[in-house]
Chains A and B, each alone.
Chain A
């Protein structure tokens, strides 16, 4: 099947003159990637599945004992783990909703003839290109209660963003929204500019108002690509670690991956943390599957 898709090599090309066949070139590109995936992804995945059924601790020399489903049972009965999940869910909902609103809104603003549109779009994409750790450190300074520019600008005095347990999660989400809205904006912009102009003209002739046009024409046509953006952002938000970890250490911002990190590398409960990782994996898979099903439904319509 794969070979059927590939076009055959031009007989005059350099590769052909070196005597490389299509299949050899294909292997040259594919084999390193597959090896990489096996060594760094597939192998650890399977290996950790094995560990998740043991009481293995990477910090000790004690041999790993098989404990069956004990780890899973303990984790799923642990109210603190459920609290971590609840925090994660709250975080995902706030940050993804925020990103969709801000990103899609910016895309709507940019989807018209304005001067310097290209430059403006590129500039708006910058946050997305920064490193998570850098963004975290920057925003920590911005949020600072005594000299942070946010409090200064909004005249909030010494409002505590990160050390206030009720506010910290929102602060992390705001940073995430700032960083990843451009991603949603980029995909939405692609979707918006693909809506044929004559449909809007037809709607104007049909005397449809702006809201009616938006909900009946724009949104249905952009929905599939917007769904893809939402899938990506949900998955990413679900496994957020760096931003939350760098910005604050409040218990109210302990999302599931921070819990996982602590369990694995501070408490050295390697076996149990493997089990938790698997629970997270299954959850992400389940959520993504629901989205993909919905995406297909949206596409079919």
Chain B
């Protein structure tokens, strides 16, 4: 198992800069999730760590050793790709045996069998062992592909959106399985995804990547509660954080659409009149007949345990989660307020959180 450190990594492809001065530190045994949209540089980061690409600038350390001159084989990492990359024409067993049979690492035949069987049991693919890989379903292929990674006991697991090609039910099941697997193995995982739910539910730590730059790094809680800027605020959480433009005036937040919500003093960092963006999570908004804000119900989504209400305030929409038993009709006029302590202030020009800007 290993500790991974990226220092000032920059990677360019021709004129295109994929990664800009990236610094990431992944502790031993940590489940680190890189979250970002398509083209943010997530896959490039993985490939750099795996040794399939060379960085344009910067250094990569595995267990404190600079691995710049190491090939993919020497780095001893496992990579699970989105397209599975199973070896065609071979059975599942042969695929699982593949990493153990190369000449670099000699493993006894009996041990190979034992390890393959154990992995198959862990991933519940024992009944598929003698099947050819082209006769497997997507979920089964992905399990085999994960199996091929864990059969070898590598130092680091790199996973490139391994679940994104699967259907929702299977994705949920494998999500839990992967997390359990990581805890059982105590291994270092670097998991790449564009799905914030995966990031939130699996990661010990999340790194949010945008346009090749690391925007924020922290625990899921930190990122959710205290996003560094409006990009992270919108990227994490479903429905995303509400962003309301406005100013502060006399201890109240004045939305640009006119309504006023309580804010209180004591934040000290924002002065009255400065253009701001108020960030508030849907669950920190509430409906109350005596509340100061007024809006109309635009849409109601029933999620069983709760309802997500879309409120229309003039031209803008905001989301609020309310208990499932709340009775609401579309176009009802409702009054709402927020929990002032949960509000995150962003500078409306730069979008940076005032807490982070200091």
Residues of chain A touching chain B, judged by Cβ–Cβ distance below 8 Å, are 196, 198-199, 201-209, 211-212, 216-217, 220-221, 301
Q: State whether A201 touches B102 (Cβ < 8 A).
A: no
- CB B115 to nearest CB in A, in angstroms, measures 14
Q: Residues 74-116 of chain B: 1 if any A CB is under 8 Å from the residue's CB, otherwise 0?
A: 0011110101010111000000001101111100000000000
Given A206-B98, A209-B103, 20 new contacts (CB under 8 A): A196-B83, A198-B85, A199-B87, A201-B79, A202-B79, A202-B85, A203-B87, A204-B51, A204-B52, A205-B79, A206-B102, A206-B148, A207-B73, A207-B99, A207-B152, A208-B104, A211-B103, A212-B102, A217-B87, A220-B89
Bound state CA distance, A220 and B132, in angstroms?
14
Q: Which of A202, A204, A217 contacts B71 (CB 8 A)?
A: A204
Q: State whether A202 touches B89 (Cβ < 8 A).
A: no
- CB A198 to nearest CB in B, in angstroms, measures 5
Q: State whether B152 touches A206 (Cβ < 8 A).
A: yes
Q: Which of A199, A205, A211, A220 contacts B78 (CB 8 A)?
A: A205
**Can you sample 9 A-B contacts with CB below 8 Å?**
A198-B85, A201-B50, A202-B85, A202-B87, A205-B50, A205-B77, A206-B152, A208-B102, A209-B104
Asked if B62 is at the interface of the complex by the 8 Å CB criterion, the answer is: no
Q: For residue B77, which residue of chain A has the nearest CB?
A: A205
Q: State whether A204 touches B89 (Cβ < 8 A).
A: no
Q: State whether A201 touches B88 (Cβ < 8 A).
A: no
Q: Which residues of chain B are within 8 angstroms of A202 by Cβ–Cβ distance?
A: 79, 81, 85, 87
Q: Which residues of chain B are within 8 angstroms of A201 by Cβ–Cβ distance?
A: 50, 52, 72, 79, 81, 85
Q: Which residues of chain B are within 8 angstroms of A301 by Cβ–Cβ distance?
A: 89
Q: For residue B79, which residue of chain A has the nearest CB?
A: A205
Across the A-B interface, how many residue pairs have beta carbons closer than 8 Å?
Answer: 65
Q: Which residues of chain B are within 8 angstroms of A209 by Cβ–Cβ distance?
A: 102-104
List B28-67 residues whose CB lies under 8 Å from chain A. Answer: 50-52
- CB B221 to nearest CB in A, in angstroms, measures 33
A212-B87 contact in complex given A204-B73, A205-B77, A206-B152, C-beta closer than 8 Å: no
Q: Which residues of chain A are within 8 angstroms of B78 by Cβ–Cβ distance?
A: 205
Bound state CA distance, A150 and B305, in angstroms?
87
Q: Which residues of chain A are within 8 angstroms of B104 by Cβ–Cβ distance?
A: 207-209
Q: Which residues of chain B are within 8 angstroms of A211 by Cβ–Cβ distance?
A: 103
Q: State whether B72 touches A208 (Cβ < 8 A).
A: no
Bound state CA distance, A206 and B147, in angstroms?
12
Q: Which residues of chain B are within 8 angstroms of A212 by Cβ–Cβ distance?
A: 101-103
- CB B343 to nearest CB in A, in angstroms, measures 46
Bound state CA distance, A88 and B89, in angstroms?
35
Q: State whether B81 touches A198 (Cβ < 8 A).
A: yes
Bound state CA distance, A132 and B319, in angstroms?
79
Q: State whether B102 touches A207 (Cβ < 8 A).
A: yes
Q: State whether B98 touches A216 (Cβ < 8 A).
A: yes
Q: State whether A221 touches B152 (Cβ < 8 A).
A: no
Q: Which residues of chain B are within 8 angstroms of A206 by Cβ–Cβ distance?
A: 98-99, 102, 148, 152
Q: Which residues of chain B are within 8 angstroms of A198 by Cβ–Cβ distance?
A: 81, 83, 85
Q: Which residues of chain A are within 8 angstroms of B89 by Cβ–Cβ distance?
A: 220-221, 301
- CB B147 to nearest CB in A, in angstroms, measures 12
Q: For residue A299, which residue of chain B has the nearest CB?
A: B89
Q: Which residues of chain A are within 8 angstroms of B71 by Cβ–Cβ distance?
A: 204
Q: Which residues of chain A are within 8 angstroms of B50 by Cβ–Cβ distance?
A: 201, 205
Q: State whether B103 touches A205 (Cβ < 8 A).
A: no
Bound state CA distance, A301 and B87, in angstroms?
12
Bound state CA distance, A301 and B135, in angstroms?
12
Bound state CA distance, A201 and B50, in angstroms?
10
Bound state CA distance, A220 and B112, in angstroms?
23
Q: State whether A221 touches B88 (Cβ < 8 A).
A: yes
A216-B99 contact in complex given A198-B81, A207-B76, C-beta closer than 8 Å: no
